[in-house]
Amino acid sequence: MFKLKNQEFKTLIINLKNLKKEIERIEAKIENEGIEGYYSYNSDILEYARNIFISMRMLSYIKNFKGEDNE
């Protein structure tokens, strides 16, 4: 159970950092190009947010699991 918890925690951190970078990139584009900028629909921002949600949910499930191996 510890391995799973640790892996999800690492995944959460990675996706939070990636989301933060993408938000900062978009904010810079808004400042530099405004409404005339090209805003791609191929952005990974939704994937990062989805992965964050899933990791947080998994960590919650693990925390509430009352199995013998839960550390």
Query: Is the residue at 18 inside a domain?
Result: yes
pLDDT at 67: 61
Query: Is the residue at 29 inside a domain?
Result: yes
Distance CA 44, CA 18 (A): 9
Query: Is the residue at 56 inside a domain?
Result: yes
Query: Is the residue at 14 inside a domain?
Result: yes
Residue-range definition of the domain harbouring residue 26: 2-37+45-64
Domain total of the chain: 1
Query: Is the residue at 7 inside a domain?
Result: yes
pLDDT digits (tens, 9 = 90+) for 11-67: 999 999 999 999 999 999 999 999 999 888 888 999 999 999 999 999 999 988 866
pLDDT at 66: 65
**2-33 vs 45-64: helix crossing angle, rounded to 10:** 150
pLDDT at 69: 56
Contacts of 37 by beta carbon, 8 Å cutoff, 6+ apart: 29, 30
